[in-house]
Amino acid sequence: MAISREKKEQFVESYVEQLTKSQAIVLTDYRGTTVQQIQRLRGQMREHNTSVQVVKNSLMVIALQQAGLPAPEDYLVGPTAVVYLPEDIATSAKALFDSIKDLENIKVRGAILDGQILDAEGARKLRDLPSKTDVLAQLLGAIQGPASELVRTLEAPASELYRTLQAPMRELALTIQSYADKGAQASA
C-alpha cells in the first residue's frame, strides 16, 4: 500500500523534529526482531528520555538533509530503527547497548554525532563518553580547587596578623593580672 504525499511529509516533519532535539542518533538494523521486542526496547529507552523510531529510509535521508545533517545512505538500507539520544549521550548510549545486548537481531550500523558520521564501532564508543553528571562534577572540581586555594591565600595574612597582635595582648593581660594580684596581696 502506497503512502500518500501528505503522510510522507508528516513523517519527514516528525523525523526532523526528533533530529533537532537530539544530540546524536544511532542507526540500527532491526531485521528479525519482533514487534514486542521493539516495544520493550522503546520502553527501556523511554526511561532514559530516549526514543526509538522505525523509519522509512528515503524519508529519513530527506529529514537529515533538512536538519542540516549528513545522510549516511550506506547505513539507511533495509529495516531501520533510529535511536534519538538527548543531551546526556553517554547515559542513553549505555542504556541502548545494555538493552540490545539481549536482542541479538538488532545490529548497530552507525551513528551521527555533531554532524559526523560514525561507523558501528564509533557508535559503540558513545557509551564511553563521560555522562553529563560526570562532566559537571569535573567542572565543579576544576572551579572549586583554585577558589579554595585563593581563599586560603587571602586568609593567611589576616590569620598571621591576628596571631602577631594576639601575642603582645596576651602578655599585656598577664602583666596587668600580675600587678592586680600584687596589689591585692599588698592590701591584704
Q: Where are the domains of the chain?
A: 5-129, 130-188
Q: Are 22 and 67 in contact (CB under 8 A)?
A: no
The pTM for the full model equals: 0.68
The gap from C-alpha 78 to its chain's centroid, in whole angstroms, comes to: 32
CB 52 within 8 A of CB 82: yes
The β-bridge partners of 84 are 25, 51
| The pLDDT of residue 132 | 57
Counting beta carbons within 10 angstroms of the beta carbon of residue 12, is it exposed (0 to 12), middle (13 to 18) or buried (19 or more)?
buried
pLDDT at 108 over 90: yes
Confidence check: pLDDT of 131 > 70 = no
Q: Judge whether 27 and 15 are in contact, CB under 8 Å.
A: no
CATH 3.30.360.10 fits 5-129, yes or no: no
Cα–Cα distance measured from residue 49 to residue 7, given in angstroms and rounded to the nearest whole number: 26
What is the average per-residue pLDDT within 48-77? 94
Calpha distance 6→12 (Å, rounded): 10
pLDDT band at 140 (very low <50, low <70, confident <90, very high): low
The predicted structure's pLDDT at residue 154: 67
Tracing cell 547515559 back to the chain, one arrives at 91
